[in-house]
Amino acid sequence: MSTASPSLPYGTLDLLVLRTLSGGPRHGYGILMLIHEASSHLLRIEEGSLYPALHRLETTALLKAEWAVSENNRRAKYYSLTAKGRRQLAEEERKWERVAEGVSRVLRFA
């Protein structure tokens, strides 16, 4: 059985990032690690995918970013949800649940 991470459907990374940040501010590496751990190591997001997504979410005002010192005493950019980001997260979660339910129904269809 393959141990490679499954490909994420388009738009899922944004949902995962928004959901991860709903628990409070995190730097990029912290976001990667939380997604990996929360998925029981099934999902591994590459930095080359995450940082453009963070930039896009910041540009669209769903996230805000501030520089701070990390737990390793290094300067890091910490991302947090804006009010607009929280509303978008709620909408994206509703959409995801509908898609997941639809796929589940098709898979059960005999």
**Looking at domain 12-108, which of 1.10.10.10, 3.30.70.520, 3.40.50.2000, 1.10.357.10 is its CATH number?**
1.10.10.10
What is the pLDDT of the chain when averaged over all its residues? Answer: 93
pTM of the predicted model, to two decimals? 0.89
Burial of 96 (0-12, 13-18, 19+ CB in 10 A): middle
What is the C-alpha separation between 61 and 30, in angstroms, rounded? Answer: 20
CA angle 61, 8, 56 (to 5 degrees): 20
Domain ranges for the chain: 12-108
pLDDT confidence of residue 110: 65
pLDDT digits (tens, 9 = 90+) for 5-56: 677 888 899 999 999 999 999 999 999 999 999 999 999 899 999 999 999 9
pLDDT digits (tens, 9 = 90+) for 49-100: 999 999 999 999 999 999 999 988 999 999 999 999 999 999 999 999 999 9
**At 13, which amino acid appears?**
L
Residue ranges in 3-82 assigned as alpha helix (H): 12-21, 28-38, 47-59
